[in-house]
Amino acid sequence: MSVVKVYSTATCPVCDNVKGLLKKWNIAFEEVRVDQSREALKEMLKVSNNARTVPQIVIGQKWIGGFTELTELHMEGELDSLMG
């Protein structure tokens, strides 16, 4: 099963929505707080092609994007195949 990373901050309601959906769908994830670590922010910028907003979601080695992209993948039935 692929590792899911959610890059987030403490004050981001959309990040909370993403984490809530992942929990609802029984998908384990690792939260990476970019507001607490400069290294985490550098990592997010590298994997997301310099995206400056949160949440940013990575599944395995594939950058997904944010909340909208995650829900689109789920609605199109492609999320399960990414999860492996």
**Can you give the pLDDT of all 84 residues of the chain as single tens digits?**
789 999 999 999 999 999 999 999 999 999 999 999 999 999 999 999 999 999 999 999 999 999 999 999 999 999 988 887
Measuring CA to CA, which residue among 78, 61, 53 is closest to residue 2? 61
Give 35-59 pLDDT, tens digit per residue.
999 999 999 999 999 999 999 999 9
Q: What is the pTM (predicted TM-score) of this model? A: 0.94
The rounded Cα 37 to chain-centroid distance in angstroms is: 17
**Joined tokens for residue 33:** 């707080």
Spelled out in words, what is the top-level CATH class assigned to the domain 4-83?
A: alpha beta
Cα–Cα distance measured from residue 40 to residue 26, given in angstroms and rounded to the nearest whole number: 25
